[in-house]
Amino acid sequence: MTKQGVDPATRTLELLWERIAAPTRGPKPTLTLDEIVGAAIEIADRDGLGDLSMRRVAEALGFTTMSLYRYLPGKEELVELMRDKAVGRPPAHRRDASWRAALQRWARADLEVHLKHPWLLEVEIRRPPFGPNHLAWLDAGLAAIEPLSLDPLVMLNTVLAVDSYVRGAARIRVGTSAEQRRSRATRQELARLYAGIFEQIVTDERYPALAKIVTAGVFDPAEKPIDEFEFGLDRVLDGVAAFVEP
């Protein structure tokens, strides 16, 4: 598993699709790529991507750091494999559901994956989704709106738009829930803290429009009758609906 002359992206592709021929000579490997990736995901889920190190992964498996490099060219490729394994398979498609219900289900599942693996959003996207699971998600999203029989290019961009929204919204949700864990405060306590900060900082002169929102008590932890994700998702789906049913 040397780095050779191939570029990292192509190497990752080969690993994702297990294109490396298993050697016949020499001792059989004790570990598997999947075990390594799984251990790495556990660490990242628990302590974040920042605390993920080759040493920690190796220790979790009871091996030395360098042994991992027999399975992977480097950390970059490990993270890419983690990404595809972590997203897993998309929810099964229900043929009887409406396009809207199906796309909504898909979007919610997408959010859930990101809440389960918050570090997913910290990884820079370098290429289109070429991993088996990522492709399955894309396929599922397309299948959801297939009954609409849209132009293929429009189909793809519709799914991409929904996905963009979900990941953008997930980024906010993930951040706040991570901060909750870190600070060991409840949602209410944090909301109260934030409300206090807003009230201190946001003045009518500096931020007139925002000030109205703040004084209206939007950040007041007492009232919280809206699920931000669902609100936005409904708007996006409305937008799709308006496009296909003018």
Partner DNA sequence: CATGACTGTGTATACTGTACGCAGATTCGT
Partner DNA sequence: ACGAATCTGCGTACAGTATACACAGTCATG
Please choose which of DNA, its own copies, none residue 60 contacts, taking the beta carbon within 5 to 8 angstroms, the exact cut-off set by kind. Answer: none
Closer of 55 and 224 to DNA (Cβ): 55
Please state, in angstroms and rounded to a whole number, the distance separating the CA atoms of residues 82 and 218. Answer: 38
Interface with its own copies in residues 33-72 (CB under 8 A): 48
**Under the criterion CB under 8 A, does residue 192 sit at the interface with its own copies?**
no
Nearer to DNA (CB atom), residue 60 or residue 143: 60
For position 48 contacting DNA by CB under 7 A, the verdict is no
Minimum distance from residue 195 beta carbon to its own copies (Å): 10
d(CA 47, CA 67) in angstroms, rounded, equals 23
CA dist., res. 199 & res. 214, Å (int): 7
* 82 contact choice in its own copies, DNA, none (CB below 5 to 8 Å, kind-dependent): none
Q: Is 187 in the site for DNA (CB under 7 A)?
A: no
Candidates 66-74, 129-137, 177-185, 215-223 — which segment interacts with DNA by CB under 7 A?
A: 66-74
Q: Per CB under 7 A, does 60 bind DNA?
A: no
For the chain, where are the alpha helices, taking DSSP H only? 8-16, 33-47, 54-61, 75-87, 99-116, 132-144, 152-183, 187-201, 208-215, 228-244
Using CB under 8 A as the binding rule, whether residue 140 contacts its own copies is answered as yes
Q: How far apart are CA 241 and CA 246, in angstroms?
A: 8
Choice from 126, 147, 187, 189 touching its own copies (CB under 8 A): 126
The CA-to-CA distance between both ends of the chain, in Å, stands at: 55
User: Using CA atoms in the order 191, 196, 201, 206, what is the torsion angle rounded to 10 degrees?
Assistant: 80
Q: In the bound complex, what is the minimum distance in angstroms from residue 27's beta carbon to DNA?
A: 4
In the complex with its own copies, which residue's Cβ is closer, 29 or 175?
175
Rounded to whole angstroms, the Cα distance separating 150 from 138 reads 16
Which residues, 96 to 155, sit near DNA by CB under 7 A? none
Contacts of 152 (CB under 8 A, 6+ apart): none
Residues found near DNA in the complex (CB under 7 A): 1-3, 23-31, 52-56, 63-67, 69-71, 74-76
